[in-house]
Amino acid sequence: MYKFLSWTAVLLWMALIINFSSQVAEQSNQLSTGITEIIVKTVEKIAPEAEFDIKSFNHIIRKNAHFFVYLILGILVINALRRSGVHGYRSVVITVGVCALYAISDEIHQLFVPGRGGQVKDVFIDSAGASVGVGFYWVVSRLVKGKKVRIGS
C-alpha cells in the first residue's frame, strides 16, 4: 500500500508541475507576482527601510519555485523507489535521472505554451533542486534510522 501511495504522490506532483507549465505567460506571471507582493509586504512590515526591485525579486521567486518544486519531486521519487525495493546509489542515480528527464520534457513542453519558452538553465536549476531533495531525504532517513551522518570523508 505504501508503494502505491508513494508512486501516486509522484504522479500527482508531476501533474502539478505540468499544470504550472501549461499556464500561459500572463497567468504564470500573475501567480508569481502575487506571491512576490505578499513576501514584499511582509518584509516591509518587519523592515520598513528595505527597498525592493519587484521585477528582479519576482525573477528570483520564479527561479526558487523551480528549485523547490523539483526538490519535492526528488524527495517523492527517491521515497517511491526505496518503497519499491531500489536502494543505495542506484536509487540516487535513478531519481536524479528521472527528475532531470522530467525537467527537460517540462521545458520542451513550455515551448508550445503561448508566451512561454524553454530554458536550459531551468533544467539545471530543477536538477539541482532534485539533487538537494535526494540529499535531504538521505540525511533524514539516516537520522531516523539512528545512524550517524558523515559529511565528507
Write down the pLDDT at residue 153: 46
Largest distance between two CA atoms of the chain: 53
Cα-Cα-Cα-Cα dihedral sign, residues 85, 90, 96, 101: negative
Flag residues of the chain having pLDDT under 70: 25-34, 147-153
Write down the pLDDT at residue 150: 60
Write down the pLDDT at residue 137: 96
Write down the pLDDT at residue 8: 97
Length of the chain: 153
Cα-Cα-Cα-Cα dihedral sign, residues 16, 118, 27, 129: positive
Q: How far apart are CA 78 and CA 73, in angstroms?
A: 9
Residue burial 21-42, b: 16+ Cβ < 10 Å; e: rest: bebeeeebeeebbeebeeebee
pTM over 0.85: no
Quick: pLDDT tens for 106-132: 999 999 988 878 889 999 999 999 999
Angstrom distances, CA of residue 119 to CA of 23, 68, 122: 16, 17, 5
